[in-house]
Amino acid sequence: MERFITGKSGSIHVDGKTIDVTDWSLTDESDWQETTHSGSEGFYTDIPGTMKASGSFTASYNMDDSPIPALAAGSIVALTLDYETNVPAMNLPKAGIDSFEVTSEAKGVINFTCNFHSIGVYTWA
């Protein structure tokens, strides 16, 4: 039997707390360093340079979950992103929170969105 991950569940683990999310995204990127030289016979060559992961996640406030994790622009946190419960995707031992946006609707749950970037080493689970 095959089992596919739907991508609509998951969680963020920050400051020892688990936050269930409505969605998250992550981009893993490298700034390639050109190494073209006289022996490359006129073809472009390069090697991977600095690696960086960045992304965002959206979640809802649970006011009974106290204390609320230290999430704000400028916070440095540890993040573990899950594909679904107990199926980890990415581990970022150190991540910087770039922005923290709160959305409050008159008839809705208060949600927040954080944009983040990796600091140092990170690993795919």
Residue range 72-122, pLDDT digits in tens: 899 888 888 888 877 888 889 999 999 999 888 888 788 889 999 999 999
pLDDT-based confidence at 7, cuts 50/70/90? low
What was the pLDDT predicted at 85?
A: 76
Does any domain span residue 118? Answer: yes
Per residue, the 3-state secondary structure of 59-96, as one string, reads EECCCCCCCCCCCCCCCEEEEEEEEECCEEEEEEEEEE
pTM: predicted TM-score of the whole model, two decimal places: 0.81
The first and second tokens of residue 59, run together, are: 């979640």
Does any domain span residue 41? Answer: no
Output the average pLDDT for the chain.
85
Does any domain span residue 104? Answer: yes
What was the pLDDT predicted at 32?
A: 92
Does any domain span residue 63? Answer: yes
Q: Which residue has the higher pLDDT, 87 or 1?
A: 87
Does any domain span residue 113? Answer: yes
Does any domain span residue 57? Answer: yes
What was the pLDDT predicted at 48?
A: 93
CA angle 76–117–14, rounded 5-degree value? 45
Residue 12's CB is within 10 A of a number of other CB atoms, namely 24
Does any domain span residue 32? Answer: no
What was the pLDDT predicted at 49?
A: 93
- Region 63-76: mean pLDDT is 79
Does any domain span residue 70? Answer: yes
Question: Could you give the number of structural domains in the chain?
Answer: 1
What was the pLDDT predicted at 9?
A: 65
What was the pLDDT predicted at 99?
A: 96
Instruction: Give the range of the structural domain holding residue 59, as residue numbers without chain letter.
Output: 11-27+48-124
> What percentage of the chain exceeds 70 in pLDDT?
90
